[in-house]
A = this chain, B = another copy of it.
Amino acid sequence: MHFASDNTATICPEILQAIADANQGSVGSYGADALTARLTAHAKDVFETDLAVYPVGTGTAANALALATLVRPYGAVLCYEEAHIATDECGAPEFYMGGAKLVTLPSPDGLITPMQIESAMARAIDGGVHHVLPEAVSITQATEWGTVYDPERIGAIGAACRRRGLHLHMDGARFANALAHIGCSPAELSWKAGIDVLSFGATKNGALAAEAVIFFNPALAAGFERRRKRAGQLWSKMRFLSAQLIAYLENDLWLRNARHANAMATSLAKGLRAIPGVRLIQAVQANEIFVAMPDEMIEALQAAGAVFYRWIDVAGEPNPVVRLVTSFATTQTELDRFIGLAGQHAAIAA
Interface on A for B, CB 8 Å cutoff?
A: 2, 4-5, 7-11, 16, 19-20, 23-30, 56-65, 72-74, 76, 87-92, 94-101, 123, 127, 129-133, 203-204, 208-209, 223, 225-237, 240-241, 307, 312, 329
**Cβ B226 vs Cβ A133 within 8 A:** yes
Chain B residues with Cβ below 8 Å from A235 are 57-58, 209
In the bound assembly, the distance between CA atoms of A233 and B91 in angstroms comes to: 13
Known: A58-B233, A129-B234, A236-B203. A72 touches B223 (CB 8 A): yes
List 7 interface pairs A-B (beta carbons < 8 Å), by A numbering: A61-B231, A61-B232, A63-B232, A74-B226, A92-B229, A203-B236, A209-B241
A232–B73 alpha-carbon span in the complex (Å):
14
Q: Which of B26, B123, B131, B232 contacts A8 (CB 8 A)?
A: B26
Q: Decide: A129 and B30 in contact? CB cutoff 8 A.
A: yes
Is the pair B29, A5 in contact by a Cβ cutoff of 8 Å? yes
CA distance A28 to B234 in the complex (A): 26
CA distance A204 to B329 in the complex (A): 32
Which listed residue (B25, B65, B133) contacts A10, Cβ 8 A?
A: B25
Q: How far is the CA of A237 from the CA of B312 in the complex (A)?
A: 24
> Quick check: B90 and A230 within 8 Å, CB to CB?
yes
The answer to whether A208 and B229 touch (CB under 8 A), given A10-B24, A11-B23, A26-B307, is no
Specify which chain B residues have a CB less than 8 angstroms from the CB of A127 in the assembled complex: 87-88
Q: Complex Cα distance A325/B100, Å?
A: 30
Query: How far does the Cβ of A87 sit from chain B's closest Cβ, in whole Å?
Result: 6
Return chain B residues, CB-CB under 8 Å to A59. Answer: 236
| Cross-chain contact B2 with A26 (CB below 8 angstroms) | yes
A98 and B346 alpha carbons, distance in the complex (Å): 50
Q: State whether B28 touches A20 (Cβ < 8 A).
A: no
Contact across chains for B29 and A234 when beta carbons are under 8 A apart: no
Contact of B307 with A130 in the complex, beta carbons under 8 Å = no
- Closest B-chain residue to A225, C-beta based? B129
**Which residue among A30, A73, A133 has the maximum number of chain B CB atoms within 10 Å of its CB?**
A73
**Complex Cα spacing A88 to B26, Å:** 21
Residue of B nearest to A104 (CB): B104
A338–chain B nearest beta-carbon distance, Å = 13
Q: Which of A28, A101, A131, A203 has the most CB of B within 10 A?
A: A101
Given contacts A232-B58, A232-B231, contact A226 B19 (CB under 8 A): no
A62 CB to nearest B CB, Å: 8
Q: Tell me the minimal C-beta distance from A8 to chain B in angstroms.
A: 4
Pairwise interchain contact B60-A57, C-beta atoms closer than 8 A: no
Q: Point out the residues of chain B lying under 8 angstroms from A237, CB to CB.
A: 7, 11, 203, 208-209
Contacts of A233 in B (CB 8 A): 57-58, 61, 232
C-alpha gap A88/B131 in the complex (Å): 6
A99 engages B90 (CB within 8 Å): no
